[in-house]
Amino acid sequence: MTSRSYCVVGGGISGLTAAYRLRVAAGDDATIALFDPGDRLGGVLRTERVGGRLTDVGAEAFVLRRPEVPALLAELGLSGRQLGTTGARPLIYSQRELHPLPSDTVVGIPSSSTSMAGLVDDATLARIDAEPGRPFSWQPGSDPAVADLVADRFGEQVVARSVDPLLSGVYAGSAATIGLRAAAPTVAAALDRGAACLTDAVRQGLPPSTGAPVFGALDGGYQVLLDELVRRSRLEWVRAAVTKVEPGWLVHDATGARRHADAVILAIPAPRVTRLVDGLAPRTFAAASRVVSASSAVVALAVPRETPFPECSGVLVASGESLHAKAITLSSRKWGMRGDTQLLRLSFGRFGDAPENSAVRASDDELRAWAVDDLATVFGVAVEPVDIRVQRWIEAMPQYGPGHADLVAEVRAGLPPGLAVAGSYLDGIGVPACIGAAGRAVATVAP
Ligand SMILES: Cc1cc2nc3c(=O)[nH]c(=O)nc-3n(C[C@H](O)[C@H](O)[C@H](O)COP(=O)(O)OP(=O)(O)OC[C@H]3O[C@@H](n4cnc5c(N)ncnc54)[C@H](O)[C@@H]3O)c2cc1C
């Protein structure tokens, strides 16, 4: 068999996983060129030293309910590096107070009024209790914005104070910009099966409570995984952006060089995909053009160990609060790290932010000041960072709006043979879904 050659466009977790899976599928002789113009590989996965300690300043965790990351770590011999959360839970900041994170919800959508007590007013609690008695109609297969359904059944307070904080953490979006099927697939499935009302569907859609940690992370940060994927895939890193892809396949990069390949995987965000498939795959172009994305910024701080934060893993912020941050992670508490300092992260930026509150427009100095101010407001502590780092992620968080699955089916259906896509706008925004989508892309082009 003649050796095959592949081009992977994009060196984030999607592209690196694709390169590794191509190596496994195509064997030692295959040529795998990976294009990325960055000064490092990893895309949104970035591990840096803050206060002398390695910390992730992009994604920092992965959900353990999905199998992809633990399975990949096991395959790469890295299971020993997997960390679990300590059991500390996040709080919700709403109405200028801290509240326990409601239990027995699916992305904040309640299965009863019990866990919402204290977070929403009495009228809303009564409305949740009365929901099963109200007429309910559901079109199987439909995909409303989460906000539309939840506000209709439970009221605006549940949206703003319980659902938005969770969805803004995951998507930098809100219940208004995310479809039910992406946000809460088990709830949508229960409704399709004929659940009597939303409360009933949430009850059916609750994950089994095993007591096991919900999130994992890597000792040494995501860099550990990135390094191993690079090593095992034996990819050739072409440090340039791809500017054009021609059928057959010919890949042009920004230096003017061209390279032939038997197949190409585009592992780049949707807005970049549209530039490369314009004229080549019209259906894919049209569908990918409909994906909109949010930008965010992470401010990572190291603060003196004795800084008196409450017992929690962090704080999710309700919408409408007069804070800049959308979430605070007390990383040292969350992962049980010891040391002379505590590490924490604040995340900024929601889809549709007003310009004056935009994480993209704010200067680094403003973001640092917002972080310190928000910590004082939320915890009542004056924080004196010993180190602080600002990291921006522009248009890095695709919004899974209503009907997203149909859009993705259209993206894939429009691809000619030999061209595949991977990335966070396809089957889920998180690292596990990116790993899954990369494997799926390789399966369509590998021998
Ligand atoms: C702040 C933040 C926090 C997050 N936290 C979590 C978390 O805790 N857990 C979780 O599971 N997920 C999290 N996510 C989501 C997850 O990190 C991302 O969805 C995922 O890392 C995206 O990986 P990717 O490879 O698809 O894309 P990216 O990481 O965006 O990589 C794409 C790469 O393509 C390159 N590129 C772009 N255009 C071209 C071109 N024309 N030619 C060549 N290369 C190109 C870019 O330089 C980039 O390196 C977070 C995301 C953000 C932004």
Compute CA 303 distance to the chain's CA centroid, rounded to the nearest angstrom: 26
All structural domains of the chain: 5-60+221-291+401-444 (3.50.50.60), 105-205 (1.10.3110.10), 293-398 (3.90.660.20)
Looking from the CA of residue 10, the nearest atom of ligand 1 is 34
Which of 229, 296, 331, 424 is the best mutation target for the ligand 1 pocket, counting ligand atoms within 8 Å of the beta carbon and taking the most?
424
pLDDT < 50: residue spans in the chain: none
Degrees to nearest 5, angle at CA 16 with 14 and 21:
95
| Residues 166/108, Cβ–Cβ less than 8 Å | yes
Ligand 1 mean position, distance from CA 440 (Å): 17
- Give the binding-site residues of ligand 1, using a 6 Å CB cut-off: 9-15, 35-38, 43-45, 58-62, 241-242, 267-269, 272, 296, 298, 347, 393, 396-397, 423-424, 429-431, 434
Ligand 1 mean position, distance from CA 425 (Å): 10
Alpha carbon nearest to ligand 1 atom 50, residue: 59
What pLDDT sits at residue 173? 85
310 burial (CB, 10 Å; 0-12 / 13-18 / 19+) is middle
Q: What DSSP element (H or E) covers 158?
A: helix 156-158
What pLDDT sits at residue 111? 96
CA distance 64 to 414: 33
Looking from the CA of residue 396, the nearest atom of ligand 1 is 53
Ligand 1 mean position, distance from CA 267 (Å): 9
Q: In terms of Cα–Cα distance, which of 181, 183, 199, 196 is closest to 142? A: 181
Looking from the CA of residue 14, the nearest atom of ligand 1 is 25
Q: What is the DSSP letter of 102?
A: P
Strand partners, 316: 92, 327
68 three-state secondary structure? helix
Ligand 1 mean position, distance from CA 395 (Å): 10
CA distance 204 to 373: 41
What pLDDT sits at residue 75? 98
Ligand 1 mean position, distance from CA 93 (Å): 28
What pLDDT sits at residue 447? 80
What pLDDT sits at residue 357? 64
Instruction: Say which residue the tokens 């969350």 belong to.
Output: 334
Which of 44, 66, 243, 274 is the best mutation target for the ligand 1 pocket, counting ligand atoms within 8 Å of the beta carbon and taking the most?
44
| Residues 109/146, Cβ–Cβ less than 8 Å | yes
Contacts of 142 (CB under 8 A, 6+ apart): none
Alpha carbon nearest to ligand 1 atom 48, residue: 43
Ligand 1 mean position, distance from CA 13 (Å): 7
What pLDDT sits at residue 1? 52
Ligand 1 mean position, distance from CA 188 (Å): 27
What pLDDT sits at residue 141? 96
| Phi, psi values for residue 328, rounded to 5° | -125, 130
DSSP 160-221: IIIIHHHHHHHHS--TTTSBHHHH-HHHHHHHHTT-SSHHHHHHHHPPP---S-SEEEETT-
Render pLDDT for 131-157 as a digit per residue (tens, 0 to 9): 999 999 999 999 999 999 999 999 999
CA distance 295 to 190: 32
What pLDDT sits at residue 218? 96
Which of 268, 316, 345 is the best mutation target for the ligand 1 pocket, counting ligand atoms within 8 Å of the beta carbon and taking the most?
268
What pLDDT sits at residue 210? 79
